[in-house]
Every structure is written in structure tokens, then in C-alpha cells.
Amino acid sequence: MLQVIVNGVALGAAYALLALGFVLILNATGAVNFAQGDLVMAGGLLVVAASMVWPVPAIVLLPLVLGLMALLGLALSLLAYFPLKSQPPVAVFISTIAVGIMLQNTANALFGAEPRAGPPLLTAGLVELGPVTVSRQALAIIAVAALLIVVQHVLFRHTRLGRVLRATAQDREMAEALGIRVNTVIAGTFAFAAAYAGAAGLLLSNTFFVTPSDGSNYILKAYIAVVIGGWGSVVGALCGAMVIALFEVVFPSLPLVLPGLASLPGASWLFSQTMATILLYVVLLAVLVVRPQGLFGETVQRRA
């Protein structure tokens, strides 16, 4: 049971970094960044490339990946957001899709289509926690993701920079009137979101590999996390990410945790990965119908 929970939390924690960046851009600009999934892929491939040059544990490469991904985020804002910021949100939505496709094709040209494995965060292998063994990598993912989420929280809640970011997210016009350089703040948000997406890519690349076409899968998860958690809610995005991991990892493992379930008629289908996916989307639809603002409310009124 502990192993299942650790695996689920590790996956959810990596998804949380992805969803977090998605929400931060959404709040700062009111637009959906559909390149967020491809930024995860870029972060994964970046750590693969860096590890070819410096064969060290991924934790050592994390600052480099964060820095380079932040630059990529800045480039994304300059290419896909600022030229279109006065257009309706759908223009940014389309432009980020375009940038995502460009990233995917560039990665395909540079790295080839095959999956790649990044280095482990610290070391590979298992660690014994009492009667059960869990993966070192999973524990390391949880620790690093938790650290990054705490850093984000402290930065946004307890610093002047955070107040400026939040002010911009809440009311751009008012922030501008108060002398806040909104464009700088938005560019910074793109950098921050891309850095966190890159961190997610780094965390996922060892256990789950990375291919140039992974982005579309990740953006779907970010979108689901945000819809379930609450459009524009940072806490909601984190919880939404955990809900996805719950369905991907914990739900299909229930017959192992509660052996009585295995004897139910149709148990093998009921607790299959396919059913878990179906139920995740049932939950998504239920949230949209019953609580359209998501589990943790909504701060942005318009949806792309």
C-alpha cells in the first residue's frame, strides 16, 4: 500500500509542477498556455542532453535546467504572448499551440523520435521503509517537487515580488496604474512557469522517459488538473494533479490493497487502467456540471 501511495504522490507531485505553471500564466495573462506540456518535454530532453555532457545525478543539473527553461519561457512570452496580448485570448491560445508544435518538431529534429531516459535524481534503486520497499527516485521526486512548491509559495506569498505578481494576476489595469511594470511581471511569470514545467520534465524523465511527442499528453493533464481544482487556483491545481495521479496509480491498485475487491464480478475490468481513465473523465464532467468553478473556486472569469 505504501509503495502505491508513494508512486501516486510522486507522479502527482510532478504533475503539480506542470499544473502550477499553467495556472500562474493563466492568472497573469488570462490566457491558456497550450505549450506548457511541450515545456515539460523540453525540460526532460534538456536534462537528457545535459547528462550526456555531464554524467551527474539530475539533482545537480536542476539549477541549469531551471535557468535554461526560464529563458525558454521568456522567449515563449515574446513570441506567443506579447505580439498578441491585445487580441482576444483565443489568439494566444492558438499561438501557444503553434509554439508547442514548433518545440515538438525541433526536439524531433534534434533528438530523434525515440524515447530517452534522463539520469536519476540521486541514485536508482530501492529503499526499505519498514516492511515495504519503495523507489528512491519516487521519494526524491516527492522531495524535490515539494521543495519547489514551497519555494513558489514563499515567493508568491511572502515577498514583494510575489505581491506584485499577485496584484498583476488580480487586476492588470490597476497594477499598471500603480506603477507596476506589468509586461515585466508577465514575462517573469512565463519564465517561472517554464522553469517549473522543465523541473517536471526533469523529474519525470528518468522513470517515465521522454519523447518529443509527450507534450500533448501533459497539457491534457494540466488542463484536467486545473478544471478539477479550480480555474486559476494554485491550491486547486495541486489538488487536481493529485486527483489525476490517484486515478492513474491508486485506483487500479485497489484490488491489491483491498484483496476482497478482486473477487467482485468484473473486478479485472472495473479496476483496470482503462476504467480508471474513464472514471477520471466522469469526475471531470461531474465537476463541470456540479461545481463549474472547480473544487477551489475560480479567480478568472473567462475560459479558453
Partner 1 sequence: MRRLVGLALCLGLALPAATPVNAETSIPILVPITGFLSLEGTSQRNGAVLALRNAPAGVTVKYEISDTGVAPEVAVNALERALGRGRVSAVVASMLGTQMLAMLPVALEQKVPLVTVSGTAAITERGNPYVFRFFPGDAVVKAAHVRYAAEELRARKLAVIYQTTAYGQSGRQHIADNARRHGLEIVFEEGIETQVRDMSPVLGKARAANPDVLLLHLHAPSTALVIRQAAATSFSAPIVAGSAMHQPPTAALLEPAELKGVCAETNASPVSGGDPAVDRFLEQYRREFGSEPDGFALGQYDGTMMVLEAMARGAQSPAEITRALHSGIHRGLAMTYKSDGRGNMAHSAQIVCYDGQTRIPRVVKRYDDIAPPSN
Kindly report the number of other CB atoms within 10 A of residue 53's CB atom: 8
Percent helix, strand and coil across the chain, each to the nearest 5: 75, 5, 20
Q: What is the CA radius of gyration of the chain?
A: 19
- Residue 147 CA to residue 74 CA, distance in Å, equals 23
Cβ 87 to partner 1 shortest distance, Å: 28
Shortest distance, position 252 Cβ to partner 1, whole Å: 4
Backbone angles phi, psi at 209, to 5 degrees: 65, 175
Minimum distance from residue 129 beta carbon to partner 1 (Å)? 14
User: Residue 261: CB partners within 8 Å, gap ≥ 6?
Assistant: 254, 255, 267, 271
Provide the minimum distance between the beta carbon of 39 and partner 1 in the complex, in angstroms, as a whole number.
17
Question: Would you state the torsion angle of the CA atoms of residues 2, 17, 293, 175, taken in this order, to the nearest 10 degrees?
Answer: 150
Smallest separation, CB 79 to partner 1 (Å) = 21
- Site residues (CB under 8 A) for partner 1? 3-4, 7-8, 11, 104-105, 108, 112-117, 125-126, 135, 204, 207-209, 211-213, 217, 248-249, 252-253, 255-256, 262, 268, 271-274, 277
Whichever of 39 and 68 has its CB closer to partner 1, that residue is 39
Whichever of 97 and 300 has its CB closer to partner 1, that residue is: 97
Q: Which is nearer to partner 1, 93 or 209 (CB)?
A: 209
- 3-state secondary structure at position 297: coil
Least distance from partner 1 to the Cβ atom of residue 176, Å: 41
Residue nearer to partner 1 on the CB measure, 115 or 297 = 115
Q: Which is nearer to partner 1, 128 or 173 (CB)?
A: 128
Decide: 264 and 272 in contact? Cβ < 8 Å.
Answer: no
190 versus 223: smaller Cβ distance to partner 1: 223
CA atoms of 108 and 122, how far apart (whole Å): 28
